[in-house]
Amino acid sequence: MRVLVAGATGVVGHPLVGALRERGHQVSALVRDESRAPDADRIVVADALDRETLLSGVRDARPEVVVHQLSALRLLREDPPEAFARTARLRTEGTANLIEAARAAGARRLVAQSIAFAAVPAGAPVLDEDAPLYVDAPDPGWAATVRAVAALERLVLDTGRDLDGVALRYGTLYGPGTAYARDGGTGQRVLAGKLPLPEGGAGVTSFLHVEDAVGAAVAAVESTSTGAFHVTDDEPARAARWLPHYARTLGAPPPRTIPATLAPRLLGWFMAHQLTAARGAANDRARAALGWKPTHPSWRDGLGHGPRVAPDGEGTR
C-alpha cells in the first residue's frame, strides 16, 4: 500500500517508516525539516499547520493510508509551554488539515496517535476505552491537553464512510528517544535524585515500549478495524512499584518519600497526578481488533535499561 507518515522525524514516526517499508509498503515521509527525514520512498516537506502546502504535498503522494504521528514534544527541554501549545494545535488544527488532505488525495484510512493516560481518575485502577476523558482536570494545562486529545479523537473517528479512522492511545512511552531513556528528562531527574515518591504511590501507569508503539501502528495500517484502542503493555503498575525499580535499574539513588499533599507543589500537577491518582489502561481491545500484542509485555524488562550516555544527550528525535 501507499502509506504517508506525518511526523516522520518523531520517536515513533521515524522507526515506523522503516518498519512499514520492511513490510513492503511504499512510504512517504511528511516532515518539516528535510535534513531530519528518515529513509523513505518519498519525502514530503510540509507543515501540518500550513493548510495549502499540506494539501499539495499529500495530494502528490496519493496515499491510501495516512498515519498521524504529529507532535512538538521534542521541544520539551527547551520550551515546555511552546511544546504543549504547538502539540495542542497539531492535535486540533493540524488533524483537521490532515484529514482534509487525506480525503483530497483519495486516502481510505487514517491512523492517529493519541494517549492512554487522559482518563478521569475514577473507578477501577485499570480502565478501558469507554472511560471519560479528564477534560475538566483542575490543572489548566492538563485540561487543555486533554481537550485537544478529545478533539483529535472526534475528528479522526467521525470521518464518515469515505475515511476509516483509528486512534491509537499509546501508553507512557519508554525506550530510545523518550523521556524515560537514561538521557531523557525523567531519566535525568531520577538519576539526580529529584523525583521523590509521594506517600502511598497509588497512581497507576501503563507503559509502552517504542518498538511496540511502532508495531501497533503497522498493525493498524494493515487492519480494517476502526475506533479508539489502548496500546499499552500487559502490566499496569502503581508508582510505588515502578519508580523504585526504575531508579535501581538506572543506578540512581532510591526515591525519597514525601507527603502526598506536598506532591503538586514539589513535582508539578501532572507528575503528582501520575504518581498519586492516575489510572492504568487495559489493552484487550487492541489485542482483539488489531491482532497486536506487545513484544515487551512488562515494563520490568526494559524500563531504565539501555546504554549509558552523556547527560546532555538528545532526549527526543
For residue 260, tell me if it sits in a domain: no
CB atoms within 10 A of CB 179: 20
pLDDT digits (tens, 9 = 90+) for 165-196: 999 999 999 999 999 999 999 999 999 999 99
Domain, as residue range, for 30? 2-175+207-232+281-295
For residue 264, tell me if it sits in a domain: no
What's the pLDDT score for residue 313? Answer: 32
Count Cβ atoms within 10 A of the Cβ of residue 120 and give its class: 0-12 exposed, 13-18 middle, 19 or more buried.
Answer: middle
- Residue identified by cell 520550551 is 79
* Mean pLDDT to the nearest integer, 89-104: 96
Residue 20 pLDDT greater than 90, yes or no: yes
Side chain identity, residue 218: V
Residue 316 pLDDT greater than 50, yes or no: no
* Mean pLDDT to the nearest integer, 125-148: 96
What's the pLDDT score for residue 311? Answer: 35
DSSP H helical ranges for 262-306: 263-267, 269-276, 284-290
Angle of helix 95-105 relative to helix 51-61, nearest 10 degrees? 40
Q: Determine phi and psi for 23, rounding to 5 degrees.
A: -85, 0
| 170 Ramachandran zone, left/alpha/beta (phi>0; psi -120 to 50) | beta
Q: At 280, list the grid cell.
A: 492504568
Q: At 98, list the grid cell.
A: 490532515
Residue 75 pLDDT greater than 90, yes or no: no
What's the pLDDT score for residue 76? Answer: 64
Residue 309 pLDDT greater than 60, yes or no: no
Quote the mean pLDDT of the chain.
Answer: 93
* Mean pLDDT to the nearest integer, 245-270: 97
CB atoms within 10 A of CB 180: 25
For residue 187, tell me if it sits in a domain: no
For residue 157, tell me if it sits in a domain: yes
For residue 309, tell me if it sits in a domain: no
Beta bridge partners of 68: 6, 112
What's the pLDDT score for residue 307? Answer: 55
What's the pLDDT score for residue 81? Answer: 78
Residue 83 pLDDT greater than 50, yes or no: yes
For residue 128, tell me if it sits in a domain: yes
Output the pTM of the full model: 0.93
Tell me the pLDDT band of 74, cut-offs 50, 70 and 90: confident
What's the pLDDT score for residue 25? Answer: 98
pLDDT digits (tens, 9 = 90+) for 205-231: 999 999 999 999 999 999 999 999 999
DSSP 79: -
* Mean pLDDT to the nearest integer, 252-262: 97
What's the pLDDT score for residue 306? Answer: 66
Percent of the chain with pLDDT over 70: 95
How many domains are there within the chain?
A: 1
HEC states along 128-186?
CCCCCECCCCCCHHHHHHHHHHHHHHHHHHCCCCCCEEEEEEECEEECCCCCCCCCCHH
For residue 182, tell me if it sits in a domain: no
- Torsion over CA: 63, 102, 168, 316 (sign): positive
- Distance of alpha carbon 168 from alpha carbon 157, whole angstroms: 11
Count Cβ atoms within 10 A of the Cβ of residue 162 and give its class: 0-12 exposed, 13-18 middle, 19 or more buried.
Answer: exposed
What's the pLDDT score for residue 233? Answer: 98
Strands 109-115 and 164-170: parallel
CATH number of the domain that 216 lies in? Answer: 3.40.50.720
For residue 301, tell me if it sits in a domain: no
Residue 291 pLDDT greater than 90, yes or no: yes
